[in-house]
């Protein structure tokens, strides 16, 4: 399938933006969306995006290779996956030790 890289990038960007926007709308309608909290994160994310873009451009100019973007992206995804998994496991262990409800029901007793 021969498609331009820009078209593939634009399509994936649009789909990510669309799905995340629908999640935001859903949380807003369910009254689980604190607007000041979200506005703060939008501001921080915008500033971080511009700063990150500036830093990555400098690194590409120094190294002369655009492949550094892939390594940065892969390492970010890896670190976030390990962190998210670690936090989830830690919370699960605490709930198991305290015999707290974890959302599981007995299938045999439900009608």
Query: What distances in angstroms separate CA 21 from CA 14, 39, 48, 60, 76, one per listed residue?
Result: 10, 14, 20, 31, 22
Q: How confident is the model at residue 110 (pLDDT cuts 50, 70, 90)?
A: low
Query: What distances in angstroms separate CA 110 from CA 100, 102, 103, 106, 107, one per listed residue?
Result: 20, 17, 14, 7, 6
Q: How confident is the model at residue 66 (pLDDT cuts 50, 70, 90)?
A: confident
Predicted structure pTM score: 0.57
| Mean pLDDT of the region 20-39 | 86
Sequence-separated (6 or more) residues with CB below 8 Å from residue 8: none
Q: Residue 42 and residue 63: Cα distance in Å, rounded?
A: 31
């Amino acid at each position: 399938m021969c498609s331009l890289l820009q078209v593939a990038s634009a399509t994936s960007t649009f789909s990510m933006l669309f799905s995340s926007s629908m999640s935001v709308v859903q949380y807003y309608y369910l009254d689980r969306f604190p607007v000041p909290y979200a506005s703060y994160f939008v501001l921080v994310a915008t500033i971080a995006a511009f700063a990150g873009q500036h830093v990555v451009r400098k690194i590409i100019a120094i190294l002369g290779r655009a492949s550094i973007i892939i390594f940065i992206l892969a390492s970010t995804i890896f670190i976030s996956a390990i962190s998210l998994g670690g936090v989830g496991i830690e919370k699960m262990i605490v709930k198991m030790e305290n015999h707290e409800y974890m959302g599981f029901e007995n299938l045999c007793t439900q009608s």
